[in-house]
Amino acid sequence: MFSRALEIHKQHLSPVETAFFQKPLMLHQGHMEWLFDSEGNRYLDFFSGIVTVSVGHCHPKVTAVAQKQMDRLWHTSSVFFHPPMHEYAEKLSALLPEPLKVIFLVNSGSEANDLAMVMARAYSNHTDIISFRGAYHGCSPYTLGLTNVGLYKMDLPCGTGCQPTMCPDVFRGPWGGSYCRDSPVQTVRKCSCAPDCCQAKEQYIEQFKETLNTSVAKSIAGFFAEPIQGVNGVVQYPKKFLKEAFALVRERGGVCIADEVQTGFGRLGSHFWGFQTHDVLPDIVTMAKGIGNGFPMAAVVTTPEIAKSLAKCLHHFSTFGGSPLACVVGSAVLEVIKEEDLQKNSQEVGTYMLLKFAELRNEFDIVGDVRGKGLMIGIEMVQDKMSRHPLPKTEVNQIHEDCKDMGLLVGRGGSFSQTFRITPPMCITKPEVDFAFEVFRSALIQHLERRTK
């Protein structure tokens, strides 16, 4: 079966290298936090289909409502009314603060960010949009301008009017200290900041001002930010940075967009939305992935004022956005998060896991940083803690493969693919964290043993 699938893949599917492991997994079945391959092997899923499975693979309640709706009505475009769409819109809007109450339902994070870009420009009547280096906001031709990860950059023109700015990365960036992050685990970099002052934050704000003064027009359309960068390796900014950056953007006439594709729906534990952890109120919020627990679904939420400005210049329409099937799945996901208290579970189990994995930083010199919040954690691998140079990709690949062979699936991220991304379904338990910790530690020990041979 595997060899035949590999042959078909080479002949008929995208030639872009997408296989995650040296020997790709042929998955057959999933249940909650577990996946099973075609040979019956079981894997603890600590990547959730790229931070997408929020409440668990094939969650019984979500599966049941989807099956029931499929027997009733699969699809009708949004030119027709149907109860699931209006029921879902009411439930989702109740979870967002005023005035974020107008919802545009679409199919993917890239499509959501595409639409948010148009909204920002339509409302502001300006063009330039700023995003962080290391940001990932999609790989459609439009959003590629916002995405600043080298792997996704093209030789062809795309995404005009987008300008990158320095990412305030307190581990790998030029400034950072031991009190910067909203996380139980800080960097080992020392600082002399007073309790109410962050020197790193001030330095990165100066760099943000430099971008505003040199790289964009005097008036801008907006600023995109992930509350925590996902693809770049779970990068966290200094506390209060986004609050000051949002104020600077609004002074230039721009709107502030929070990309919650990976951070939303309770994954960060302390709050339902990532932007709330920064004490900011965006003008536009984009969301996808966990919104549908793996079902292709996404949304853009904005204010009535911005929504009206878009309607004046664009007849926006999505054939599949807001389908009956998507909306009943979305509603079920929200109900499960509430009924099973998964936001609280993300906070408690996530903090336990973060502190547990931080022990590896003390034990292994190649573990440079452990960071994150809730069930979004990054483990950055380095050649040594002093230089912070990334561990070579070949070595990280082998550790990754060893984890898989021992039954643990984790993600990868960072400019050099040097960071392991830990983002399990929100139903994960502490005993499963203990298992994952032992597997990961064993993989590191195996790696060091190979080095000494």
The superfamily (CATH) of domain 2-59+341-452 is Aspartate Aminotransferase, domain 1 (3.90.1150.10)
Domain residue ranges of the chain, discontinuous segments joined by +: 2-59+341-452, 63-339
Write down the pLDDT at residue 1. 65
The pLDDT, as a whole number, for residue 319 is 87
pLDDT values of the chain reduced to their tens digit, one per residue, 453 residues: 667 877 787 787 777 766 677 778 888 999 999 999 988 999 999 999 999 999 999 999 999 999 999 999 999 887 889 999 999 999 999 999 999 999 999 999 999 999 999 999 999 999 999 999 999 999 898 899 999 998 877 777 777 899 999 999 999 999 999 999 999 999 999 888 877 788 999 999 999 999 999 999 999 999 999 999 999 999 999 999 999 999 999 999 999 999 999 999 999 999 999 999 999 999 999 999 999 999 999 999 999 999 999 988 877 888 899 999 999 999 999 999 999 999 999 999 999 999 999 999 999 999 999 999 999 999 999 999 989 999 999 999 999 999 999 999 999 999 999 999 999 999 999 999 999 999 999 999 999 998 887
CATH fold for domain 63-339: Aspartate Aminotransferase; domain 2 (3.40.640)
Asked if the domains at 2-59+341-452 and 63-339 fall in one CATH topology, the answer is no
Specify the pLDDT at position 152: 79
Query: Secondary structure of the chain in the HEC alphabet?
Result: CHHHHHHHHHHHCCCCCCCCCCCCCCEEEEEECEEEECCCCEEEECCHHHHCCCCCECCHHHHHHHHHHHHHCCCCCCCCCCHHHHHHHHHHHCCCCCCCCEEEEECCHHHHHHHHHHHHHHHHCCCCEEEECCCCCCCCCCHHHCCCCHHHCCCCCCCCCEEEECCCCCCCCCCCCCCCCCCCCCCCCCCCCCCCCCHHHHHHHHHHHHHHHHCCCCCCCEEEECCCECCCCCECCCCCHHHHHHHHHHHCCCEEEEECCCCCCCCCCCCCCHHHHHCCCCCEEEECHHHCCCCCCEEEEECHHHHHHHHHHCCCCCCCCCCHHHHHHHHHHHHHHHHCCHHHHHHHHHHHHHHHHHHHHHHCCCEEEEEEECCEEEEEEECCCCCCCECCHHHHHHHHHHHHHCCEECEEECCCCCEEEECCCCCCCHHHHHHHHHHHHHHHHHHHHHHHC
pLDDT on residue 19: 60
